[in-house]
Structure 1
Amino acid sequence: MTARTARWESTLDSVVVYAQGALCRRLARGTVPPDGRLRVTGLPRSLDPGSLRARVLGAPRVRVVEARVEVEAEPADPRTPHELREAAERLRDRHAAVQARRDRQLTLIEEAGGLHPAPPARRREDAQRRTPVEAWLELADFVDRRLAALQARLAELEEELLRAGHELAVAEDRLARASGDAPQAHVAATVSAVLTLARTGAPGTAAEAAAGVEVELEVEYGVPGAVWVPAYRLAHRQGDDTGRLVLRASVAQRTGEDWNGVRIALATSDLRRRTDLPRLHSVRIGRRQPAPAPSGWREPPAGRGGG
């Protein structure tokens, strides 16, 4: 009976989006098993198997000696479309409630910002009164404290609304995938990277030497379903001799991964461009040699037997 391969969960750390395709970087951490073999999970099904690269971070004596992509089959999401629809409805109600609280907070901020001192109306027979400066200053201080508290609460509500919107988008995507006319499969395919770690410069086998060492792995792979488009905006006021140029980028991807909260960099080159080395023709340097004389031999006529 063979031992089960250790499974390490990975986290998407950064993505470099090219003109066509993207290069993703995942991180995983754990203790090297006795046989040195492990499985890094969480990779998308759209990855290019030939682009898989893996290396060990922070442990110079431990290295990756083998890396390959392996597809596994596991039970699919047992929830029915009805359950997914109920979950999406709950998240939709939660998103609407958070949005209503955010809008109410904006109203409170507008009301607090509109507070200003207004002296009472003076009748003609009343004597001139001095302006209560202390009361005005106290009101201004109260407004500042009130606005600071309201703004802090508004930032919390904005973050909560962002999380609720993301959870709702994920639930609606799951519901859309489960609501098709085609019957759902009972198993789902998952992609993982099977790695073998070894330790250099140690006695015994490589796997035994690396066993028990806690390391951090970097797994890098390319995916084709990503693209980015630049957008330029030039702002210039009439009469000024300067302007402001703003560059924005719109990123679109259908890789099957969630890029929310991931560092994203942009590149103008093509990820899938060929980088083969050119084939150089041989060149002889020296005196030119005369061409060899013909030998005079030729093939016998067709159909003539040998003697």
Structure 2
Amino acid sequence: MTGGSEERWESALDAVVVYARGALCRRLARGTVSPGGRVVVTGLPRSLDPGSLRARVLDTPGVRVTEARVKVDAAPVAPGAAEGLGREVERLRDAREAVEARRDRQLGLVKEIEGLHPVAPGRKREDPHRRSPVEAWLELADFVDERLTGLHARLAELEEELREAEHALTVAAERLARASTDAPAAHVRTEVCAVLTLDGVEDAATHVRVELEYGVPGAVWVPTYRLTHHQGDGSGRLLLRASVAQRTDEDWTGVRIAFSTADLRRRTDLPRLRSVRLGRRQAAPAPSGWREPPAGLADLFAGYDAAGPRPATAFGPGGAVAGAAAADDDW
């Protein structure tokens, strides 16, 4: 597969599981791939742990990922990239200020309507008592309630619009800061990608959906508990809220987020299972003195048997040397 073509796919962050330290992110990418080709998935953060990258194919039986590795691409930055980001930041700042001004005007209208209340006309001591216009007071109260309902609904919309404008301004300002500090001398932009090798692709243009999973540091969540109890009630209401802080170089807006109290970087090994015997306990058998002969014992004297016949002994039956006896006879 080294000689196949290479396709570039964009990815989108789908879900995040935030642990006590770190987070596990899940990205989805889709596209067409030819047989023997490789896929380069873009959009990964620079803070990811390369050893935690996992990839698998979804909804395409027979196709599987045989290799997944992290690659960093470098490309020259256009000369006007920083200027364009600066103009975008200015535009978003003006839009934020316009929404904030509309919100302030809406707050003024709410305060103005809330200040409406019936006031009885002044009466001198010699004037007779007059009947209170209760119907007029009730009509004024209904008008105030109806008007405040509409004003508060519009105020909630403006508050949400202001939060979105502030978020967009924050993201644009962060991009401008990165573009201004990422290797300004060489004008090089780096991008982290995942290179995937797919096996089992038979058609010339097979549509494949891929899931990427990787871990990132720089994320943490803190639980907050709130217990509500009314005096005289026999029950209460416990609310659990999670405050999330992250600097993973990714935007988590609109992403499904789950929480875990485990430590993502804690090593987990399988437990060692011990054997368990059921029944009455029996005494251990007495050790035996017999042992199996060592391996290769039969070959210990193989060299001696192959040396030939046994040599004649130099001593006679009486214990005298035969050669010495023959010498005495000559004398």
* TM-score normalised by length of structure 1: 0.72
Q: Return the structure number with greater relative CO, CA threshold 8 A, min gap 6.
A: 1
1:69 aligns with 2:62: no
Moved more, 162-171 or 240-249: 240-249
Partner of 1:44: 45
- Following superposition, the deviation at residue 266 of structure 1 comes to 1.7
- Following superposition, the deviation at residue 231 of structure 1 comes to 4.5
Partner of 1:112: 113
Letter aligned with residue 261 of structure 1 = G
| CA distance in 2 between partners of 1:139 and 1:48 (Å) | 64
1:207 aligns with 2:213: no
Instruction: Decide which of 209, 219, 230 is 2:212's aligned counterpart.
Output: 219
- Following superposition, the deviation at residue 233 of structure 1 comes to 5.5
Instruction: Decide which of 244, 248, 255 is 1:255's aligned counterpart.
Output: 248
Q: 1:38 to 1:177 in 2, by over 3 A?
A: closer
- Following superposition, the deviation at residue 12 of structure 1 comes to 0.8
1:9 aligns with 2:7: no
| CA distance in 2 between partners of 1:56 and 1:145 (Å) | 55
Q: Is the 8 A contact 1:178 1:184 kept in 2?
A: no
| CA distance in 2 between partners of 1:274 and 1:181 (Å) | 34
Helix, strand or coil at the partner of 2:201: helix
Helix, strand or coil at the partner of 2:202: helix
| CA distance in 2 between partners of 1:277 and 1:235 (Å) | 42
- Following superposition, the deviation at residue 14 of structure 1 comes to 1.4
Letter aligned with residue 47 of structure 2 = S
Q: Larger Rg: 1 or 2?
A: 2
Q: 1:127 to 1:273 in 2, by over 3 A?
A: closer
Helix, strand or coil at the partner of 2:102: helix
- Following superposition, the deviation at residue 181 of structure 1 comes to 11
- Following superposition, the deviation at residue 258 of structure 1 comes to 1.6
Identify unmatched segments of 5+ residues in structure 1: 199-205, 296-307
Question: What whole-Å deviation, never above 9, does each CA across 1:214-269 have from its counterpart, x for those lacking one?
Answer: 44322111112222334456677899987765544333322211223322222121
Q: How does 1:23-62 map to 2 (within 5 A)?
A: 23-35=24-36, 37-62=38-63
Letter aligned with residue 229 of structure 1 = V
Helix, strand or coil at the partner of 1:207: coil
Partner of 2:104: 103
Partner of 1:196: 197
Question: What whole-Å deviation, never above 9, does each CA across 1:103-126 have from its counterpart, x for those lacking one?
Answer: 221221222233334455567667
Q: How does 1:147-162 map to 2 (within 5 A)?
A: 147-162=148-163
1:172 aligns with 2:156: no
Question: What whole-Å deviation, never above 9, does each CA across 1:190-228 have from its counterpart, x for those lacking one?
Answer: 112222344xxxxxxx3224x544443221111122223
Q: 1:131 to 1:4 in 2, by over 3 A?
A: same
Q: 1:169 to 1:221 in 2, by over 3 A?
A: same
| CA distance in 2 between partners of 1:145 and 1:74 (Å) | 59
Question: What whole-Å deviation, never above 9, does each CA across 1:145-204 have from its counterpart, x for those lacking one?
Answer: 322332232222112211221122123323434555974432222112222344xxxxxx
Partner of 2:133: 131
Q: Is the 8 A contact 1:19 1:269 kept in 2?
A: yes
- Following superposition, the deviation at residue 86 of structure 1 comes to 5.0
Helix, strand or coil at the partner of 2:172: helix
Q: 1:130 to 1:158 in 2, by over 3 A?
A: closer
Question: What whole-Å deviation, never above 9, does each CA across 1:28-49 have from its counterpart, x for those lacking one?
Answer: 2334445453222111122122
Q: 1:148 to 1:233 in 2, by over 3 A?
A: closer
Moved more, 153-162 or 169-178: 169-178
RMSD: 4.0
Partner of 2:304: none
Query: May I ask how many residue pairs the two structures share in their alignment?
Result: 283
Letter aligned with residue 227 of structure 1 = V
Q: How does 1:219-298 map to 2 (within 5 A)?
A: 219-232=212-225, 246-277=239-270, 290=291
* TM-score normalised by length of structure 2: 0.68
| CA distance in 2 between partners of 1:240 and 1:130 (Å) | 41
